[in-house]
């Protein structure tokens, strides 16, 4: 999918002022993390408050890692996210059961996701997804600040049937320009690259990131 503008999702927001900073800088989407072990975890109660700060035309993404169906349904009811993001080991059936738009994340470089063809073959199991998100493989689930070999996406980007590509993993204002030029993603997803500490975003880093993304395709 080729576009003239690269969309941006700012993920792992935990504070109202960070939501405001992301929106003011021009983010297309904001991500709320519902994975308790993460430093970016937000409770359903806090998520409702953050969601109320997001204006129309900016999407709210709810991120889950191997959550139970009851947990996901509770967040859908309480927070009313626009998009679900499954960042764990969820099967296609598990992702589809909510009849809700979703993105599936893949930890590139993990066993079974360590060749371009293997990445594409795995992604094809999730053809019902609205986007495929590619993150780096680490002991945790996202937010590691590490990049992965973009060559592993070659089969995905060359395949006309691929879903929208969302690029994550080690992105910041210094690295995102080259990553966009090489992978030509539909969107980029940043978390630790715009933080001052875990779960605390930095408004100046958000602005710098957004400015770099905007300049790449001018």
Q: Which value, in Å, is the radius of gyration of the alpha carbons in the chain? A: 16
Catalytic residue flag (residue 189): no
User: Which structure tokens are listed for 184?
Assistant: 């030509």
Q: Which of 11, 18, 123, 189 is catalytic?
A: 11
Query: Coil, strand or helix: which one is 86?
Result: strand
C-alpha distances in angstroms, 180 versus 7, 89, 176? Answer: 11, 27, 6
Q: Which of 18, 95, 135, 189 is catalytic?
A: 135
User: Which structure tokens are listed for 138?
Assistant: 């680490």
DSSP result, 137-177: --SSSS-------GGGGHHHHH-TTPPEEEE-SS--TTTHH
Catalytic residue flag (residue 123): no
Rounded to 10 deg, the angle between the 203-216 and 16-25 helix axes is 20
Catalytic residues: 11, 135
């Amino acid at each position: 999918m080729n576009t003239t503008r690269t969309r941006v999702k700012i993920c792992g927001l935990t504070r109202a002022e960070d939501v405001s900073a992301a929106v003011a800088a021009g983010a297309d989407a904001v991500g709320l993390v519902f994975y308790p072990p993460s430093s970016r975890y937000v409770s359903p109660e806090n998520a409702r408050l953050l969601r109320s700060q997001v204006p129309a035309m900016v999407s709210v993404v709810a991120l889950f890692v191997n959550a139970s169906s009851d947990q996901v349904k509770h967040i859908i009811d309480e927070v009313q996210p626009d998009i679900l993001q499954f960042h764990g080991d969820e099967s296609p059936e598990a992702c589809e059961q909510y009849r809700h738009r979703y993105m599936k994340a893949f930890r590139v470089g993990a066993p079974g996701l360590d060749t371009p063809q293997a990445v594409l073959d795995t992604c094809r199991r999730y053809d019902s997804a609205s986007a495929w998100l590619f993150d780096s493989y680490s002991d945790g689930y996202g937010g590691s600040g590490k990049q992965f070999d973009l060559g592993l996406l070659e089969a995905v980007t060359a395949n006309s049937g691929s879903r929208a590509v969302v690029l994550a993993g080690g992105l910041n204002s210094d690295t995102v320009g080259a990553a966009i030029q090489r992978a030509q993603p539909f969107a980029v997803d940043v978390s630790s690259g715009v933080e001052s500490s875990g779960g605390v975003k930095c408004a100046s880093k958000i602005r710098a990131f957004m400015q770099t993304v905007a300049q790449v395709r001018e």
